[in-house]
């Protein structure tokens, strides 16, 4: 490899998720992995020459400040843990520690939580939310350098770092179009959430850019769980003109989608192409392995820390909101059809029958 290996490179070689690599290499307490999984991760890291930053490259002075990383949730999904690891590794490279605090209940914590950190040698705050959403920042975040992670202030008084959900939705849909699919459905997340809204917007933009009409019948609203993917797929298959591809707005709904397609005797991707979103660990073990997009929370954590260092150094950020690209991971659930649109029509006829 000509460039410096990343944690994602280690995850790909070891055949595990980026979260697993982070937890194994950090020796995080309370995690349960088999000896075989741990060995695969360490072997992949060794082969690639990947080295996890565990301490500053030079001794940090006694007055070095710390970053307070405050999140509204850590255990429900791996995303915030990944964001914290990205922030921690980036900060450690500069000799700065990161302290983690969890705000229970999903609401913005009381100002006293922030004020407690301000009594010590604080460099600044990173405040993150498990769901991409608007927040109302409390007063302490305006008193020291602060960055919002996976959330934003509508007035843009504070800089924020978010996943590129709109571009990700567009990339997923365009990948299906390049595969020759012409009737593409989407099983989306819950209505009203930012991620659902933006992934649907990206889907619609891709259709419009390729002169394909938007059909409301091909939109199913779910709840991010496998059952929603199963139920949505069954409804699509009952249509007079069923789709020839399904974009699932997260990988868990793709699990349910796979099950419904297999019950119907349909092959993936020959009869129905499927693409997911998030790159959960299960995606690579589905059969066929699921083509999906990475939810880049590790990179978001790194970017938030870089922004915070700029603010602490009195450098004005070039952008008050950064969108981090969701990388497309090609696996086996989408293929290019040799006969183009004709193949798509034939697959649709088979499904209808």
pLDDT tens sequence across 245-280: 999 999 999 999 999 999 999 999 999 999 999 999
Asked if residue 348 and residue 307 are part of one domain, the reply reads no
DSSP SS3 for 281: helix
Domain identity same for 209 and 96: no
Residue 233 and residue 276 share a domain = yes
Is the confidence at residue 14, as pLDDT, over 60? yes
What are the two backbone dihedrals, phi and then psi, of residue 279, each rounded to the nearest 5 degrees?
60, 55
Q: What is the mean pLDDT of residues 344-351?
A: 38
Both tokens of residue 186?
A: 């989407």
Q: Are residues 334 and 245 in the same domain?
A: yes
Give the CATH number for residue 67.
Answer: 3.40.50.2300
Residue 265 sits in the same domain as residue 304: no
Q: What is the CATH number of the domain that holds 6?
A: 1.10.260.40
Distances (CA, A) of 127 to 79, 143, 153: 14, 14, 11
In this predicted model, which residue has the larger pLDDT, 257 or 114? 257
3 and 66: one domain?
no
- 84 with 154, same domain? yes
Ranking 18-32, 98-112, 204-218 by mean pLDDT, the lowest is 18-32
Same domain, 193 and 336: yes
What's the structural domain count of the chain?
3
Both 43 and 107 in a single domain? no
pTM here? 0.78
Reported as a single tens digit per residue, the pLDDT across 53-94 is: 544 444 444 456 899 999 988 777 888 999 999 999 999 988
Q: Is 83 helix (H, G, I), strand (E, B) or coil?
A: helix
Task: Give the domain extent around 83.
Answer: 59-158+297-324
- Quick check: 248 and 187 in contact, CB under 8 A? yes
Q: Which two tokens stand for residue 336?
A: 């290019």
Residues 226 and 274 reside in one and the same domain: yes
Residues 113 and 89 in one domain: yes
Q: Are residues 280 and 140 in the same domain?
A: no
């Amino acid at each position: 490899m000509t460039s410096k290996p990343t944690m994602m490179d280690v995850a790909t070689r070891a055949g595990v998720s980026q979260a697993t690599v982070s937890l194994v290499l950090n020796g995080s307490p309370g995690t349960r992995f088999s000896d075989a999984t741990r060995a695969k991760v360490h072997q992949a890291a060794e082969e690639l020459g990947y080295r996890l930053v565990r301490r500053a490259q030079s001794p940090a002075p006694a007055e070095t400040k710390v970053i307070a990383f405050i999140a509204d949730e850590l255990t429900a999904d791996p995303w915030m843990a990944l964001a914290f690891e990205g922030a921690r590794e980036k900060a450690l490279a500069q000799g700065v520690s990161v302290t983690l605090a969890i705000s229970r209940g999903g609401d913005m914590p009381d100002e006293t939580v922030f004020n407690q950190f301000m009594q010590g040698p604080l460099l600044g705050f990173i405040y993150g939310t498990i769901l991409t959403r608007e927040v109302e920042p409390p007063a302490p975040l305006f008193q020291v350098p602060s960055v919002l992670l996976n959330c934003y202030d509508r007035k843009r008084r504070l800089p924020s770092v978010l996943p590129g959900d709109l571009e990700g939705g567009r990339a997923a849909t365009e990948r299906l179009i390049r595969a020759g699919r012409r009737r593409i459905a989407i099983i989306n997340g819950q209505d009203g959430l930012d991620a659902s809204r933006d992934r649907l917007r990206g889907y619609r933009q891709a259709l419009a850019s390729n002169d394909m009409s938007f059909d409301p019948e091909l939109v199913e609203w779910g709840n991010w769980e496998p059952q929603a993917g199963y139920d949505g797929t069954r409804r699509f298959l009952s249509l007079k003109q069923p789709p020839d591809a399904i974009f699932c707005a997260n990988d868990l709904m793709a699990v349910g989608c796979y099950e419904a397609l297999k019950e119907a005797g349909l092959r993936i991707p020959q009869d129905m192409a499927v693409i997911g979103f998030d790159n959960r660990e299960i995606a690579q073990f589905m059969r066929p392995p699921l083509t999906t997009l990475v939810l880049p929370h590790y990179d978001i954590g790194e970017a938030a820390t870089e922004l915070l260092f700029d603010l602490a150094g009195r450098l004005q950020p070039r952008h008050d909101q950064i969108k981090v690209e969701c990388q497309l991971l090609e696996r086996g659930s989408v293929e290019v059809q040799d006969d183009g649109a004709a193949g798509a029509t034939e697959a649709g006829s088979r499904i209808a029958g």
